[in-house]
Amino acid sequence: MTIHLYFVLLLCCGFIVQTNGLFRTSELFPSIADPNLSMERIVRNTGYPFELHHVTTKDGYILSVHRIPSNNTNVNVQNRRVVLIMHGLLGSSADWVVPSRDRSIAYLLADNGYDVWLGNSRGTTASKNHTTLSLQSAQFWDFSWHEMGMYDLPAMIDYILAHTGQKQLFYIGFSQGTTQFWVLMSLRPEYNEKIKLMSALAPVAYTGHIIGLLKPASFFANFFKGIYRYTGFFELLPNTALMRFLTQNFCREGMPTQYFCEFITFIIGGFSTEVDHAHFAEYVEFAPAGCSYKQLVHYAMGIQNPGHFRPYDYGTLNNIMVYGQFTPPEYPLDRITAPVILYNGLNDFLAHPDDVDILSRKLPNIVEKYTVTLTRLNHFDFMFAVDVRQYVYDHLIEKMNSIP
């Protein structure tokens, strides 16, 4: 559940939300002009090919999916190995290409002959389009990670398989990218047959043991969930010129304020000794990438109800109309038959080891639970740690390569 340092930075700057009927951040501090062009520039400057694809979901959201075709010229349609990689909350596909080519899982997989597809969930910087709804409307932002699992993921999976001519693909999810996977595979179990292997980085389902800054924040998010009744659902923490200015000027190496930026990430995701100080500002340049207020509230519900992993709680009366019972039903994780490897760290505040243990006992087809013990990785280390390749990615790629 990627919660970046900007959550606190925006609070310090006089937290401004983008909402229907309230002051809009996009009008004062516009987003980057074209995030797809920015992605293409980064990938091509690193020496890899790039393709932009647009996928439309069943409920009308238009998603940007970025493709890095294999560098292996010997790969043909018959032996093509396809992988979809999904970011976490407030993240985007940029998270996977900003690290250097010897530390980015996207580039490492491309070097290993994989056809790499990087998804962008609805509402993030590169996926702010809809066939009928305006970005400024409350209806556009009426979604959580439940809808991402029910609509975004199947749309991307089906598009990629149809485009590549394959019947199955590999899936790598980080944080929220794992949450929406559990939603899809449990409620639409036919999609399990389309997954060769799911590699879950810092997996998030059960959240009752979360510690750090997000624990008290969840009380406020859950308490104020009724705000949508007066404003409609709205966007939080978009990637604006203001946020890029803050990171570029206060989080870069050589600035004394960089340590404050890093400290904020520590109290959110866990303390780490794996921070790349020289490139820290680059890692957070494209984040936060925006999310719906409803996404945060949905996670807060899980934090406040330990031991439960359920759809959105609309209140007793509305739950009866939506679910036919007073409380939302548990996601039926026993229906997830796709093979899964769980990767977790010992100092992860958000994907806490105790919560990962609960998840591992619920999933019926765990290939391996890989706990990194050489160092105490925090939540964000699974993307940006100096030695993430040694601790995680080499093992991940070895396991993927072992599957025919």
Pairing type for strands 195-201 and 340-345 reads parallel
Q: What is the distance between the alpha carbons of residues 53 and 97, in angstroms, rounded to a whole number?
A: 17
Angle at 311 between CA 309 and CA 317, to 5 degrees: 125
Clarify whether 175 is annotated catalytic: yes
Clarify whether 379 is annotated catalytic: yes
Q: List CB contacts of 102: < 8 A, sequence separation 6 or more.
A: 108, 389
Residue with tokens 């038959």: 337
Q: Using alpha carbons only, how large is the chain's radius of gyration in Å?
A: 20
**Where would I find the beta strands (DSSP E) of 90-239?**
114-118, 129-130, 169-174, 195-201, 235-236
Q: What is the distance between the alpha carbons of residues 89 and 301, in angstroms, rounded to a whole number?
A: 16
Q: Which of 175, 186, 199, 218 is catalytic?
A: 175
For residue 110, the surrounding DSSP H or E stretch is: helix 105-111
In sign, the C-alpha dihedral spanning 269, 297, 357, 108 is negative
Tell me the backbone φ, ψ of residue 169, rounded to 5 degrees. -140, 165
**Alpha carbon 25 to chain centroid distance?**
23
The catalytic residue positions are 175, 379
